[in-house]
Structures are given as structure tokens and as C-alpha cells.
Amino acid sequence: MGRCHAPPQLPGLGGAVEIASGYSNSTAESSTCANTLIPYNVGTQCTRSASGMARQDGPRRFDHDQGNHLSSSRNYQRNYDYHMRTDNGAGINDQIIYQVAATNINFTNSQWIPTSVPTTYQSNYRNLYSEVLGLVSQPQVAYTRSGNSLTLNPVGQPAFDQSIIPFYNVYFSDTWHMKPTFTMTYSLGWALELPPYEINGKQPSW
């Protein structure tokens, strides 16, 4: 099933708004919507997409049975790897998110927090204060780049690689049934795996 990621909750918004993302000073988006005051979760770990696929092309093992000999060998293999993800691997997705919280907002006790608020509750007070007023503590979005000049891609363009890994493996093995009571096996192998390359000229991953 596909994901719609984190679209804006209302038409005209520049990005999705995440209110009450948690009572901590974390700079990453929340992973669950247990404490968020929004209709659906926009946390990175719950809205991101990632996929991978590996395919092997080329001749496989060949067996040849002739009389008292059983020979086998391998040849060329072309490995194709496809990787795609919509986040940066941590807490930022490729969709614009506006976090409404106290993170990165410089509150001072004399200006924002009444003296009647105990010290142990001041952190919660700062978060609730910013949430009620709708103070955006930080916007978040992960951009991708492509091409030799690392051109900046539009918002929502996922990171992906299509890598090729050439692999040569020549192997010869022979089992010789010389006598009813004596069988000799001998073999010779050679293998070479070349560095991967990305078919679009990007940095390969595997």
C-alpha cells in the first residue's frame, strides 16, 4: 500500500503543521501521533517510504555429465540494485513540516513564564504556550540533488540509485570416476567483482 507522506492539512498551507510533537527539545519530527494535536501523523518514521530491489542477470551454473566425468562452471553475472527513500535516514522527510513547539525559541523566565509556575513544570509550560499561540519553532524538509553539478531537485523528489555491479566468476570443476574404488576431483576458479556504477551518473549505493 502506498503512502501519501505528509501533505498539508488544509489547502493553501506551505507544508504540514505538526502541533505538540512531544515535550522534549528534540529537533526531529515525532515518530508517533500519541501527543500530537493533528488529524493525522506527519512524523518521518511513520510517513517515509523506502524500497530496494536486487536482480541478477547472466549465465548461471552449467553441469556436463559425460561418461566418468562430471564438469561444472560459472561465468558472468550482472547485478542490478535499486534503492529509494524519501527521508534522510534520521528525522527529516522530503515534505515540508512546520513544527509548532518550544524548540529553538528563546524563552526567558522573566518574559514568558509567570513566577507562579514551578521549575519542574516550566518546560511543559513553554511547549503549551508556543502551541496555543502557534509559534513555529522550525521548518523541516530534506532536499535531494542530482547530476554532476548537484542540481537541487524539487520538494518531494526522493533519493534513488540504480547501481550496476559487474561480477565475473569463472569456475571449472571436474569429478573423474577413474575406478570403481577411486574418484578424483580437481577444480580451478577465478572471480572478479568490479566497483559499482550508477546508470544515471550519480554516486552509487549498494
Residue 146 within any structural domain of the chain: no
Looking at the structure, tell me whether residues 58 and 102 fall in a common domain: no
**Residue 154 pLDDT grade (very low, low, confident, very high; cuts 50, 70, 90):** very high
Grid cell for residue 50: 523506502
Write down the pLDDT at residue 137: 85
For residue 117, what are the domain limits? Answer: 1-47+97-140
Looking at the structure, tell me whether residues 114 and 192 fall in a common domain: no
Residue among 60, 67, 61 at smallest CA distance from 175? 67
Write down the pLDDT at residue 96: 92
CA distance readout (Å), 37 to 30, 34, 42, 61:
12, 9, 11, 59
What whole-number distance in Å separates Cα of residue 203 and Cα of residue 147?
Answer: 9
Specify the number of domains making up the chain.
Answer: 2
Looking at the structure, tell me whether residues 110 and 195 fall in a common domain: no
Most confident range (mean pLDDT) of 1-10, 61-70, 189-198 is 189-198
Write down the pLDDT at residue 143: 92
- Tell me: the pLDDT tens digits for 110-127? 667 888 888 888 888 888
- Tell me: the pLDDT tens digits for 12-53? 888 988 887 654 444 444 444 456 677 777 877 778 888 888
- Tell me: the pLDDT tens digits for 58-79? 665 556 556 666 666 666 778 8
